[in-house]
Structure formats: C-alpha cells, structure tokens
Amino acid sequence: MDSGVGAVPGLDDLGAAIGRLLGRDRTGWSGSAHSAELLALLAVRERLDAAIVGLAGVWDASGDWAADGARSPVTWLAQRAPLTRQDAATLVRTARLVHRHPETAGALAEGSVTAAHVGLAARAARDRAGAFAEHEVALLAVAHGLDPSAFRVAARHWAGCVDAVTDRHRGDEDPDGNVLHAAATFGGAGHLEGRLDPVSYRALLTRLDALEPPDPVDGARPPQTIARRRADALLRLVHGDGRRPRAAVDVIIDADTLAGRVAVDPGDGCCELAGFGPVSPDLARTLACDAAIGRVLVRGRSEVVDLGRRTRMVSPALRRLLEVRDRTCVEPGCDVPGTWCDVHHVVPWWAHGPTNPANTELRCRHHHLRRHRDDPVRFRRVGSGARGDPPARGKVS
C-alpha cells in the first residue's frame, strides 16, 4: 500500500510530524514526560479518527469505491487499507451513522463526543435506525457526560429499551422482526448475536433448558454454567438428538500443512472450513482425522490433490462398535458421551493408518484437538519413509 502521507495535498506537515515523532530520542525522559506524551498522542489519534470517520462517510456516499469493481466499501477498504474486514465494517458502519445524522457529525467535529463514542452508538443503532434518529440528541448528551466504557453500557441499555418497546408494538404483524447475526473469527469460533420476539425467545430457552438441565450437585465436579448448557443444547438441536453432525462440511487443507511441512509460499499453507473461513492447522488436522467431515486436500492455491469422499469412511457398524467399546471419550477422567465424540485415528489415515477398531478411538473435540496439538512428532512430522505422506498427487481416495 502507498504509505506516503505527503502524497496527498495538505498532509505533508502531518507526515513530517509523524516522522519526527518516530525518530525522537527519549533517553533521559522522566516517567511523567512519557505519560504526557502518550496521552497527547492518543488525543491526536482520536481527532484523526474523527476526521477519518467524517471523510469515510462522504466517500461511502459518493460510491467511488464501486468504480473499480469492489462489491462494497468494506471489501474495497479491506483490500487496500491496513484494516481487518471487521475493522473496515466497523468504520463504514460508524461513518454512515455520522454521514446520515448531522447532529452526530457536528458533535464529533467539535469534539464534544469522540470517535469511540460514535462507534459505540453506531453499533447500538444497528437495526434500530428509526429509534436512533428519534433519540439522537439525547444519546449525544449522554455520550458527552460519560467516558467510552460507561457509554458502552448506556448504549446497550438504550438498545435493550428500544427492543422492549419495539417488540411490544410488533405483535404478529412483523414476522421478520427476528434476526441472527453470525460472524466467524480466525480463532476458529463463531459468534452469534441476535434478537427474538418474546414468545420465540421464551420458547427457545424453555426448549434448550429442557434438553440440558443442570447437573445434580454431587461435588464430584463443578456444575456447568447455564450459558454452556444452552450452547450444548443448541448443538443437540442442530445435530439431531444426541447424534453427531450430519451437516455436509468440508475442511480444505493444504497437503503440505497436513503433513507438517512448511509451505514455500506462506499464503499457500492455509486451512479452512468451507463456508466458515480460515481455521488453525491443528483444528484442520483434527477435523480431517475424524473423516465424518468431508475433506479436500489441496496443494498451493488451486490444485486439488484429493477430493475425499463425503460419505463416511467410518461405517455405522464401526461407529456403533466404538460407542459400545469406549462409551465415552477415551481421555482419562473425561465423561463426554461417545455419541458426541470424534473418531480419532491413532495412526493418521494420511500416514496410511487403517480405519478399523484397532486403530481408532473416540475422543471429544476438546481432547481430540489436544491430541493433535500435543503429539506433533506423530501427527505432523513427516518421516523419511512414506509414513506421514499425504496421498500422492492425483490419487483420489
């Protein structure tokens, strides 16, 4: 990316000031001098953020981002600026709020609220645009009197109140009022956030709590939190009653990464879950090991080496045998029921380990992942012989 601040008219002074700052010799400075400089810089950054948000609003409305074929201002920014997609989405959301609400734009420009306050307001105003327009002035007054942390709580409270009123008026005539936002993170987790009408909300919680009631308190182990039990119950609904996932999911894994070799081009060694995005190599290896999940072995960015069969290599008969034999996850002390466990290959299939009772065991996802993380020699390193090599080029299993 072009980092030349001076390339844009009017920004040469800024570029020069930043240059001096980066080269400043601070030897002999007192701790309080450091504190003062840090606070001053953060204040400058805040004003810079305010200017960026204002500009981004005008730019977004101009539609110039579409000129070179970008699908949205967010993709345009994520491809050209040092921003994650999520940060780009936050910037565009905040910029739109400012652009569409002159009172907010004025408060941000004069500094009575900060860019952080406006970002929090934009987040709270998502799906609540009408209510925000109505309460804009009051919210700005609240923001002016609170630091960003306290305003975050206030904005959430405001959103909750708006929803409570909206839901009361919504009744049956707005069946589209339910929303579920889903976002994938690189850590391999999905975040869900949503809003349900009161009847659906109660019905869902009643169903979830019936599926995963609290454990009897026997002192043997700490009770599960209600949040954890509800998540487990939701997954039971998704996967069918107590059974393993049936949804067709493919893990796309680089053949070299699978075998523990470092890809020549780091961009090539990626692993991802189709329809989700990148996941860590450990998680990809764990998912590929189970074989209940489809797997696509690739080399580089485009060559498909092995299109694994979606149908399970683990036959229902083998699965049943393991559930009877192991009963629970085989990790000592773990009591996750076998129906919930992955089938782990003791010698991985990509090292030509057979899928039979002697070479397989049941492991819960947590202990399965740990096994692949903790035993790098066995599961990652390629030996000098064929063991550990993924299927040869062009071979289709």
Catalog residues that contact Zn ion under the rule CB under 5 A.
289, 329, 331, 334, 336, 344, 364, 367
Cβ-based nearer residue to Zn ion, 114 or 360? 360
For residue 390, CA distances in Å to 49, 310, 343 come to 49, 18, 19
Side-chain-facing half-sphere of 74: CA atoms under 13 Å: 12
Q: Closest separation between CB of residue 334 and Zn ion, Å? A: 3
Cβ-based nearer residue to Zn ion, 305 or 351? 351
Cβ-based nearer residue to Zn ion, 248 or 346? 346
Q: Closest separation between CB of residue 367 and Zn ion, Å? A: 3
Q: Closest separation between CB of residue 289 and Zn ion, Å? A: 3
Cβ-based nearer residue to Zn ion, 142 or 279? 279
CA distance 263 to 131: 51
Q: Closest separation between CB of residue 258 and Zn ion, Å? A: 12
Token pair listed for 276: 């989700």
Burial 48-79 (b: 16+ CB within 10 A, else e): ebbebbbebbebbeeeebeeeebeebbebbbe
CA distance 327 to 344: 14
Cβ-based nearer residue to Zn ion, 72 or 359? 359
Token pair listed for 303: 């060559």
Q: Closest separation between CB of residue 247 and Zn ion, Å? A: 20
Q: Closest separation between CB of residue 348 and Zn ion, Å? A: 7
Taking CA 138 as the corner, what is the angle to CA 133 and CA 139, rounded to the nearest 5 degrees? 75
Cβ-based nearer residue to Zn ion, 233 or 289? 289
User: What does the longest C-alpha to C-alpha distance in the chain come to?
Assistant: 74
Cβ-based nearer residue to Zn ion, 313 or 364? 364
Q: Closest separation between CB of residue 386 and Zn ion, Å? A: 20
Could you tell me if 30 and 99 are in contact, meaning their C-beta atoms sit under 8 angstroms apart? Answer: no
For 392, phi then psi, to 5°, come to: -65, 160
Token pair listed for 28: 């002999």
CA distance 72 to 378: 45
For residue 369, CA distances in Å to 69, 274, 293 come to 41, 19, 15
Cβ-based nearer residue to Zn ion, 143 or 329? 329
Q: Closest separation between CB of residue 305 and Zn ion, Å? A: 20
* One-letter amino acid for residue 166 of the chain: T
In this structure, the number of other CB atoms found within 10 A of the CB of residue 267 comes to 9
Cβ-based nearer residue to Zn ion, 119 or 294? 294
Q: Closest separation between CB of residue 368 and Zn ion, Å? A: 5
Spell out the residues 6+ positions from residue 388 whose beta carbon is closer than 8 angstroms to its own: 259, 260, 348, 350, 351, 381, 382
